[in-house]
Amino acid sequence: QQQVKQSPQSLIVQKGGISIINCAYENTAFDYFPWYQQFPGKGPALLIAIRPDVSEKKEGRFTISFNKSAKQFSLHIMDSQPGDSATYFCAASGGSGGSNYKLTFGKGTLLTVNP
């Protein structure tokens, strides 16, 4: 089964610090890598996404770094705030039709930002 491995499982960061979550994938056909944020009892919300033609994408305090050769990508949250406390999921898909557009999710990272 195609997998996306996410780490760490949980992360505690102080307010103002940098939160870093890492993901690694196996399938070289993956060409779309989104990150989702989920609060308890809510559906996941798209945070930011990247395709392999760029190595980094930044939107506000959120940055994705992508390393195609290592088959790894990571989410950096700068100036972390208590309101960022949530579960974060990385995902990947082939994006080329058929069954390849299904998202394969990591297991999630529970982020806690202490005030």
Partner 1 sequence: GAVVSQHPSWVICKSGTSVKIECRSLDFQATTMFWYRQFPKQSLMLMATSNEGSKATYEQGVEKDKFLINHASLTLSTLTVTSAHPEDSSFYICSASPRAGETQYFGPGTRLLVL
Binding region for partner 1 (CB under 8 A): 32, 34, 36, 41-46, 49, 89, 93-97, 99-103, 105-108, 110
Task: Name 32's Cβ contacts closer than 8 Å, sequence gap at least 6.
Answer: 49, 51, 92, 93, 94, 95
Q: How far is the CB of 79 from partner 1 (least distance, A)?
A: 26
Q: Which is nearer to partner 1, 17 or 52 (CB)?
A: 52
Which strand (E) or helix (H) includes residue 86?
strand 86-92
Q: How far is the CB of 62 from partner 1 (least distance, A)?
A: 15
Q: Which is nearer to partner 1, 18 or 39 (CB)?
A: 39
**The pair of three-digit structure tokens given for residue 60, joined into one six-digit string:** 């506000």
Q: How far is the CB of 21 from partner 1 (least distance, A)?
A: 14
Q: SS3 for 80?
A: coil
Residue 42 identity:
K
